[in-house]
Amino acid sequence: MSSHDTPIVAKSQAQYEYDRHHNAVHMRKQVINFAIMIFFTFIAFAVVAADFSKYLILPLILLLAGVQVVLQLYSFMHLEDKKTHFGGVIGFFMWMGILIAFTFFLAFLTIIWW
């Protein structure tokens, strides 16, 4: 047996059922979040196509985009998994990315407007 061999361990019936249920619940959450994001995208396109005032369109699209970012971080980046041992690392990189993005936004906003 070499160092790269993975031992095969048989699961008990209870563990199999638990894993199956957990995977089904997780997949259901993923599909629901994906459907919500598609619906928000549809709303954004419909508002633009309906030719509403730009003072309604811009805040609505920014609000929907913000909600989509939160949903994507929560579901697709596995931030809902509290039991993961990478929680601190994921949070650190997420907040550092937000800080860097905000810094770039502020810098370019300052360059353009002043």
The tokens for 24 are: 């089904």
CA–CA distance, 67 with 64 (Å, rounded to integer): 5
CA–CA distance, 32 with 99 (Å, rounded to integer): 29
Whether this model's pTM surpasses 0.75: no
Tens-place pLDDT, residues 54-102: 899 999 999 999 899 888 877 777 666 666 666 677 778 888 988 999 9
